[in-house]
Structure formats: structure tokens, C-alpha cells
């Protein structure tokens, strides 16, 4: 962080301190937006079986819809982050959410064949790309550093909450009416989130975090980030933790059912317990770090990486005869860690970002994580298919150990950003 950027951060923090009680309204608005967006984003996976039956698709072809909704933010997030830094988050987030909802309406009416439907789902994902950087920039504006971890964790809980709502409502609507009606519900959720954000969100009065007249130079920003050792180390940690999260989320049900011979209903309950622990982790881990080890999030991430290797190693040693309570315990702990790390990482990314390019920096980091989320689960599945789950889980352990080691080396080396944020 340059001296200029350190100087710019002080007014922003003073503005956050003076925000008063309205910051909690802003947090509620940010949670509502993310929950609404998650109903659209996660709802695509919920509707896959209905599209498979309607269009007579193979499982692999039906899964292209999930790929499309994931590819949308990868394609758009850097551009949208740049727009947020230039024009402010209020109207960029609200208008793109409304556009996402309208696109869902059009898809419900015009998606008469699967390729056309996939195109609309891709566009929906592209509009969804505004919610993550825009909402986090709002938290940065309104909350002082000591509360950002907790606020980010509460906001991030909107993702699994939205997914749960989608899972509870959309299949029933699709069964009793049609999948098109379910997409109308998704569209209404997106529009509602956009309207709420536009109506209740307010910009803070601080000049340093207001919209920029000059657009961010993305190439210069990205080069500056990856050339800095501390930032590069942090981004690598995010990639490793994203691999951990999505490999566990995608593979654990198959592992429990196929490898441990646990009935699918019981395995599904274990998965739900893991996700519930993840919600608690998203709220709690960042708050604990900020409360007991303020200004040391890099160290907290290092220890989270290192500690996560213990339950993964234990998971790799389970056999069909292992006590069921052990599987429950490991799933709970792995859910807490694999889901709960993200707010801690996101707040750290926000803190090292140049003040004029907060949303662009967040967008770059999230885009990298989205690429890992899309590629690591199938690569892990291929490794498991060739060698078995024990080797697969231990390979993940090696990744986390090496990442924790490089984060430790970065902390030990003198670096202007490290001295500010670790």
C-alpha cells in the first residue's frame, strides 16, 4: 500500500465511524440483495432436473446450465467492478439486479429450446456479477475496520440462505405449475432485491470513496496487485481455499454415499449440517479474528489453512466401518472451515485494495476464485477416478500445506502491505 493510499484510508475510516445506526440498515439491504441474487444464482442448479426431463437431456448436458450461470460472473465481474468504482454501487447494483430479474422473465417466456435457455442463463449470471463486489464495497463504506469482519460474515450468510429458499420454493412451483413459473419467481426475487437496494441504500459523504470520474485502468491495477508479494500471496491463499470449499461441497455427498456406504438421505443430512456450520463460520471466524487478533487477518488465514489439513486427513482415513459420529464431526468441522473462510479473506482483500479501485480489486480476486470453483471439482473427480479418494483428499492437504507455508514466508519478509495488514 502506497503512502498516498494509506493517507486516503483515514477519511474513509472516519466516515465509517460517523455512519451511526444507518449502517445496520445498509447491512440489511446488502443481505437482502445477496439473498435475492442467490435465489436466482443457486436456483439454476435446483431446476436442472426439470430441464433435463423437459428437453430429454443427459446429465452432463443438463449440467451446462450450472456452468453457464457460473461463467456469467467470470465474464462480467471485472467490467462491473470498474463501473462500480466509477459510478458508485447504488445504481450499478440495483440496475443490474433488475436486469437479471427481467432476463429471467424473458428466459421463462422465450426459452423454448435448451441452447436459447443457456444463453439467457449466461446473461443472468453476468448481471449477478455486480452483487458481490458492490455489496462488499458498501460494507467498506459504512463499517469501521473493527466491525467489517462481522458485517461481511452476516452479509455472506445471504448466499446459503438464498440457496435454501430456492431449494424449498422453486421445486414446488415447478412441480405444481412449470419450470417457467419457477423462473418467474427467480426474476421477481432479483427485481425485488434491486428495488430494495435502490430505495434504501445511501452513499456515505466521504470524498475518497465516492464515485470516480476517471475509470480504473484494469491492466495497471492487476499488474500492480500481482507484482506485490503480499497481495500475490493473499490471492494464492484465496485460490487454495476456494479449491478446498468447492471440492468439499461438490464431492462430499458422493464420498459419503459411494465410499463410506452411508445412505443418501443420511448423507444429505450430514451435508446440511456442514452447510449450517458454514453459515456460523462465515459470521464467526472473521469476527473472532478481528476481535481477538485485530489487524492480523493474514496470520488467521495461515492458521486456517494449516488447521484445515487435520480434518481432511482424518476424512481420508475413514472406511465404511468407521463410527458414524466421526463422519458427522468431520463434516461439521469441514463445513465450518471450507465455507467460513471467505469473509475473512474478502475483508483482507478490501483492506489492501487501492481506495479508488475497491470494487475492481474485489472483482479481480473473486473472478480468480470463480475460475477455481469451476475447474477444481472436475479435476479432483478425475484424480479420484484414477487413484481413489485417499489420494485425492491428501492431494488437497498438500495444496493447503504449501499455501500456508508461502503465506508464512510472506509474513516473515518485510513488505509495506504486510506491515499494514498482517
Q: What is the pTM of this model?
A: 0.77
> Are 26 and 159 members of one domain?
yes
> Are 123 and 258 members of one domain?
no
> Are 199 and 230 members of one domain?
no
> Are 135 and 230 members of one domain?
no
Q: Please answer whether residues 274 and 252 qualify as being in contact, where contact means their C-beta atoms are separated by less than 8 angstroms.
A: yes
Q: What is the pLDDT of residue 291?
A: 81
Q: Which residue, 328, 308, 309, is CA-closest to 318? A: 328
CA distance 387 to 379: 12
> Are 157 and 293 members of one domain?
no
Q: What is the pLDDT of residue 4?
A: 39
Q: What is the pLDDT of residue 305?
A: 95
Q: How far is CA 235 from CA 87, 286, 374, 407, in A?
A: 26, 17, 17, 10
Q: What is the pLDDT of residue 317?
A: 93
> Are 205 and 222 members of one domain?
no
Query: Tens of pLDDT along the chain (422 residues)?
Result: 443 343 444 444 545 555 578 889 999 999 999 999 999 998 888 888 888 888 888 877 887 888 888 888 888 888 898 888 888 889 999 999 999 999 999 999 987 889 999 999 999 999 998 898 888 888 888 888 778 888 888 898 888 888 888 888 888 899 899 999 999 999 999 999 999 999 999 876 444 444 555 677 778 888 888 888 889 999 999 999 999 998 888 788 888 888 899 887 888 888 878 888 888 888 888 888 888 887 788 899 999 999 999 999 999 999 998 999 999 999 999 999 998 898 889 888 988 888 788 888 888 998 999 889 888 888 888 898 899 899 999 999 999 999 999 998 887 665 444 444 43
Q: Please answer whether residues 29 and 141 qualify as being in contact, where contact means their C-beta atoms are separated by less than 8 angstroms.
A: no
CA distance 215 to 50: 43
> Are 222 and 363 members of one domain?
yes
CATH number, residue 401: 1.20.1250.20
Query: Which domain, by its residues, includes 163?
Result: 3-209
Q: What is the pLDDT of residue 206?
A: 47
> Are 140 and 193 members of one domain?
yes
Residue identified by cell 452432463 is 60
CA distance 67 to 62: 10
CA distance 9 to 421: 13
> Are 68 and 161 members of one domain?
yes
For the chain, the domain total comes to 2
The CA angle 145-419-398, to the nearest 5 degrees, is 95
> Are 300 and 259 members of one domain?
yes
Q: What is the pLDDT of residue 416?
A: 42
Residue 131: CB partners within 8 Å, gap ≥ 6? 33, 34, 37, 93, 96, 97, 193
Hey, what's the cell of 32?
437482502
Residue identified by cell 471450507 is 338
Amino acid at each position: 500500500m502506497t503512502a498516498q493510499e494509506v493517507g486516503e484510508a483515514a477519511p474513509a475510516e472516519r466516515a465509517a465511524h460517523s455512519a451511526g445506526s444507518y449502517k445496520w440498515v445498509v447491512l440489511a439491504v446488502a443481505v437482502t440483495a445477496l439473498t435475492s441474487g442467490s435465489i436466482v444464482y443457486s436456483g439454476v442448479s435446483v431446476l436442472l432436473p426439470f430441464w433435463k426431463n423437459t428437453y430429454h437431456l443427459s446429465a452432463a448436458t443438463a449440467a451446462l446450465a450450472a456452468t453457464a450461470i457460473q461463467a456469467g460472473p467470470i465474464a462480467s465481474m471485472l467490467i462491473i467492478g470498474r463501473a462500480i468504482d466509477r459510478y458508485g454501487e447504488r445504481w450499478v447494483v440495483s440496475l443490474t439486479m433488475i436486469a437479471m430479474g427481467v432476463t429471467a422473465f424473458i428466459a421463462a417466456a422465450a426459452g423454448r429450446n435448451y441452447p436459447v435457455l443457456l444463453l439467457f442463463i449466461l446473461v443472468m449470471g453476468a448481471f449477478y456479477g455486480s452483487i458481490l463486489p458492490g455489496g462488499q464495497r458498501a460494507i467498506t463504506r459504512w463499517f469501521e475496520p473493527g466491525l467489517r469482519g462481522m458485517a461481511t460474515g452476516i452479509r455472506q450468510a445471504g448466499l446459503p440462505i438464498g440457496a435454501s429458499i430456492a431449494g424449498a420454493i422453486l421445486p414446488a412451483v415447478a412441480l405444481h405449475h412449470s419450470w417457467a413459473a419457477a423462473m418467474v419467481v427467480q426474476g421477481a426475487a432479483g427485481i425485488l432485491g434491486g428495488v430494495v437496494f435502490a430505495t434504501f441504500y445511501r452513499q456515505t459523504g466521504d470524498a475518497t470513496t465516492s464515485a470516480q470520474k476517471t475509470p480504473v485502468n484494469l491492466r495497471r491495477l492487476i499488474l500492480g496487485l500481482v507484482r506485490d508479494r503480499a497481495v500475490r500471496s493473499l490471492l494464492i491463499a484465496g485460490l487454495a481455499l476456494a479449491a478446498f470449499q468447492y471440492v468439499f461441497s461438490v464431492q462430499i455427498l458422493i464420498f459419503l454415499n459411494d465410499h463410506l456406504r452411508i445412505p443418501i438421505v443420511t448423507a444429505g443430512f450430514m451435508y446440511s449440517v456442514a452447510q449450517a456450520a458454514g453459515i456460523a463460520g462465515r459470521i464467526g471466524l472473521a469476527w473472532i479474528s478481528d476481535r481477538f487478533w485485530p489487524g492480523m487477518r493474514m496470520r488467521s488465514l495461515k492458521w486456517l489453512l494449516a488447521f484445515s489439513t487435520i480434518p481432511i486427513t482424518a476424512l481420508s482415513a475413514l472406511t465404511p466401518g468407521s463410527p458414524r459420529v466421526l463422519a458427522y464431526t468431520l463434516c461439521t468441522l469441514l463445513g465450518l472451515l471450507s465455507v467460513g473462510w471467505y469473509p475473512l479473506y474478502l475483508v483482507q482483500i478490501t483492506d489492501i485494495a487501492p481506495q479508488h479501485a475497491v470494487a475492481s480489486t474485489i472483482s479481480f480476486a473473486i473472478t480468480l476464485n470463480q475460475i477455481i470453483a469451476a475447474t477444481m471439482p472436475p479435476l479432483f473427480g478425475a484424480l479420484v477416478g484414477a487413484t481413489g479418494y485417499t489420494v485425492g483428499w491428501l492431494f488437497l492437504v498438500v495444496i493447503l500445506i504449501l499455501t500456508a507455508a508461502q503465506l508464512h514466508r510472506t509474513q516473515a519478509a518485510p513488505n509495506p502491505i504486510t506491515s499494514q495488514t498482517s
